[in-house]
Chains A and B, each alone.
Chain A
Amino acid sequence: MTTVVALDAVPRIRRGVKCTYDQIREAHVVLFPEGVLVLNETAASVVSLCDGVRSVGDIALALGDLYAGVQPEDVAELVARLVGRRVVDVDG
């Protein structure tokens, strides 16, 4: 089940979730109690900005400085998927 995440929602990495870089897979990964997510570059950028301060809209703006054509809705969708995997929580 995917929850809808609003643009003013503020995502943060959940307690007990560890974000790290795996030299073996040469990818950013998210480690949590019963799973591992291997992130692509965009997802890794989003995860690194889920700091409990920035909103989804803020994250989209920040990413816009790095990549062309970042849509806030795409960020919201990715955050919703991370919520579904219990990697991030959202406030607001």
Chain B
Amino acid sequence: MAEAPFGLLAELTHRCPLQCGYCSNPVELVRRDAELDTESWRRVFDQARSLGALQIHLSGGEPLLRPDLPELVTHANSLGCYVNLVTSGVGLSRERLRELASRGVDHVQLSLQDATRAGNDRIAGIKAFDRKVQAAAHIREEGLPLTVNTVLHRQNLDNIAGIIAMAEEMGAERLELANTQYYGWALRNRAVLLPTREQLAHADPIVAAAQERLRGRMEIVYVIADYHEAHPKPCMYGWGARQLTVAPNGDVLPCPAATVISSLKIENVRESSLHDIWHNSPSFNAFRGFEWMRDPCRSCPRKEIDFGGCRCQAFQLTGDAANTDPVCTLSPERSTVDLILETEMAPAEVPAMAMRKMS
């Protein structure tokens, strides 16, 4: 039997006031009328806890758009779970935060698009910067630990020092600097987002120096730009290994992007229990462990480190989710990634960013 998951990523809604073109949500966003109701989410949390999940990440979209968020926080907390609120900060008033904290939010992750008001609001597509700064102040006053999350790409990588300074100013204990991973909206906007080698080379030493300088005060987690690397990321630390995602409509996913693998039959909490889906479903067992692997992964010692990389990326770029992640230099299809880098890092004509919106 598979080991129990540690975390549930609960995407309560895909609705969001922000329109970031790098959003990892699928391009086909779930509409409001298809969202699970309060009772169903409570049941999902119950089932996740009995399955072994100890962390519930309340995410989206923007979870604050769910009027039942306070009730859901209470429920997640009553199960003994660590409750993590992942938010844009838009709509996080002092009163709202106080209520959520009193009901058991343990930690807040606040997104920041860029170091400056102009940059942030251009990427977010709305005036959000001042509200984020305000939200950070509320979080600090409430005494809740804060992680600032910034997704990095061609349009903000040059401002990395300013982003780090901004997170310090906001009072963050952790800063996640995550280079864009190309799924969903980000894949659509790749030619606008892919950073150049020079940008990454410029950012690396700045991040390293800040990690050293801020040790013990603010932890900086740096997520690499995998297209530029020689080996893939250890995606999800293995398929169906540590975490599961429930999408707004109740779809249960081994990773948040898994709907892109069109050959995968996705289960839904309306039809089966999380226990059944985690342990017995074809989708969760499809790439579990090492048996599904082909060469070069199968005979590669790195399989214990990177688990063959990302199944969604293999599917998107090679058409077969069981292939080696093509960012790996050992993949026979690495040339696909190199071609993307050559043509999209600095395109002759940069396309306009497709802003994330419900169609």
Using a CB–CB cutoff of 8 Å, the interface residues on chain A facing chain B are 15-16, 18, 20, 22, 24-25, 29, 31-36, 86
Contacts and interface: CB of A to CB of B under 8 A. Distances in A.
Interface in B107-157: 107, 109, 143-145, 147
B84 interface: yes
Contacts of B174: 33-34
B4 A18 contact: no
Interface in B45-65: 49-52, 54-55
Contact of B55 (A15, A25, A36): A36
Interface residues of B, number: 24
A75 B173 CA distance: 26
B147 A33 contact: yes
Nearest to B84: A33
B88 to A, nearest CB: 18
Contacts of B80: 20, 22
A24 B144 CA distance: 28
B6 interface: yes
25 contacts: A15-B145, A16-B107, A16-B145, A18-B82, A20-B54, A20-B80, A22-B52, A24-B4, A25-B4, A31-B55, A31-B81, A31-B82, A31-B106, A32-B82, A33-B145, A33-B147, A33-B174, A34-B174, A34-B221, A35-B6, A36-B6, A36-B7, A36-B54, A36-B55, A86-B219
Contacts of B144: 16
Contacts of A35: 6
Contacts of A86: 219
Contacts of A31: 54-55, 81-82, 106
B330 to A, nearest CB: 29
A2 B52 CA distance: 30
A16 B173 contact: yes
Interface in B204-231: 219, 221
Given A15-B145, A20-B80, A86-B219, A33 B107 contact: yes
A15 B147 contact: no
A67 to B, nearest CB: 27
A34 B175 CA distance: 12
A24 B82 contact: no
